[in-house]
Structure 1
Amino acid sequence: MQRHIAAVGATRQYNNDPDFALKARMILALAFVPHCDLDIYTEALSDFLPEELMPILDWFEYNYIGIYNRRSRRRRPPLYPHDMWSKYETTLNDEDQTNNHTEAIHRRIAFELGGNHPTLWKFIETLMKLQKGRDLYMEQLIAGRRPPLKLKKYRSADERVKKIVLGYNNERDALKYLKGVAHNYQMN
């Protein structure tokens, strides 16, 4: 219950305090830091964040970076390996930054099913209908049709983030780098 109350308070503060929201997004900006520098950036961030955000940074560190083993003074393997979630290399290689395609198909399936407990036949019919649409789309791509562009605001944000990431080796201030990336993302 205490965690829920704290989460509601943090959400309210995120929605009403732009500085707090920016600092929260700086935790996610760690995804744009090369693996070899995560310790330095995490340490700088832990000294900078307000106390209310420290549980989120601790959670992120435990699951995505790995916590320090006191005996060996090395990090334990994280729950999710770096190459699974890091966006540093994908940004440099102009690869997609999001899983919007997956989310879109999930919303489409939910819409087509029209409820939480469809019958097996309704589920199979829905999958067949969606597959038919995907097959048609694939044929259009093969025939030379271009996929739809992202919205301009997302393309612009991607360009700004890439510019920041390209300048990574020139930027020696960890907090400025993380702020730069965080300014270009909104969480809903």
Structure 2
Amino acid sequence: MLPNILHKGSLFHFSQAICRQVQNKGLATKYRQDECFRLKLKKLIALAFVPLDEVTTAFDLIADQFNDDADDLLEYFEKTWIGEPKRRGTGRKKPLFDHKLWNIHDRVIAATPRSNNSVKGWHNAFAIRVSISHPTIVKLGEKIRREQSKFEVDMAKILQGHNIKTKKTCYRKLDERITRLVNSFERTQLDQFLKNMAANITL
């Protein structure tokens, strides 16, 4: 996966890349059967919600909690997402993917979408409403006009002060929990923050 393919703030791509490596490193069974290992892996994904200036510190904290059988996975993660320590002096090399590409802490604080899933959601819903693999121009035009009418009705409701629900309740509640956790982040409680965030991550 090339850096310019990874959408900025896309938690989906970040977590899926890690899941693939868990399988590639032969750790899938361990992930399913070992609750402690599963928590640690989710903590790695929770790094996406840590403030940018705390990412490396948080990674070091998590890495120390893994057993030796995860060394290959951690080596991949460090090289790809964190940056390997420099052999001479202090600091780290640049990772394959800059922290700003996958860390979404600031997006959560700013209440902006964490990914382009809303666009995908609309596309899927529209495809279902069209419900024809290859619609004619006439039929497609009719569906687009209906979609435009629905959009105009929704816009009118928003302007009148109505709240248009665009997400399922379970996803809205998840967003609210994540926002609360991110907004209450404290550096002195870093490991607890990672545990709390990991509890809200599903793979």
* TM-score, length of structure 1 as denominator length: 0.68
CA displacement, residues 101-122 of structure 1 (integer Å, 9 cap, x when unaligned): 46557878x999x99xxxxxxx
- Paired AA for residue 82 in structure 1: H
Structure 1 unaligned blocks of 5 or more: 116-127
- SS for the counterpart of 1:15 is helix
The residue aligned with 1:12 is 29
C-alpha displacement at 1:162, in angstroms? 1.6
- Equivalent of 1:33, from 41, 50, 54? 50
Pick closer, same or farther for the CA change 1:62–1:106 going to 2, 3 Å.
Answer: farther
Query: Does structure 1 residue 185 correspond to structure 2 residue 198?
Result: no
Report % sequence identity.
27
Distance in 2 of aligned mates of 1:44 and 1:20? 15
Pick closer, same or farther for the CA change 1:175–1:147 going to 2, 3 Å.
Answer: same
- Equivalent of 2:40, from 2, 19, 23? 23
- SS for the counterpart of 2:64 is helix
The residue aligned with 2:141 is none
The residue aligned with 1:175 is 191
Query: Does structure 1 residue 155 correspond to structure 2 residue 167?
Result: no
The 8 Å contact of residues 62 and 78 in structure 1, kept in 2 or not, is answered as yes
- Map 1:64-143 to 2 at 5 A: 64-101=81-118, 103-104=120-121
* TM-score, length of structure 2 as denominator length: 0.64
The residue aligned with 2:76 is 59
Query: Does structure 1 residue 48 correspond to structure 2 residue 65?
Result: yes
Pick closer, same or farther for the CA change 1:107–1:6 going to 2, 3 Å.
Answer: same
- Paired AA for residue 51 in structure 1: D
- SS for the counterpart of 1:94 is coil
Pick closer, same or farther for the CA change 1:106–1:75 going to 2, 3 Å.
Answer: farther
Pick closer, same or farther for the CA change 1:55–1:151 going to 2, 3 Å.
Answer: farther
C-alpha displacement at 1:183, in angstroms? 0.5
> Size of the alignment, in residue pairs?
182
- Paired AA for residue 197 in structure 2: V
Distance in 1 of aligned mates of 2:46 and 2:22? 26
Structure 2 unaligned blocks of 5 or more: 1-19, 134-143
The 8 Å contact of residues 85 and 91 in structure 2, kept in 1 or not, is answered as yes
Deviates more, 1:89-98 or 1:175-184: 89-98
C-alpha displacement at 1:51, in angstroms? 3.1
Distance in 1 of aligned mates of 2:121 and 2:75? 31
Distance in 2 of aligned mates of 1:86 and 1:4? 19
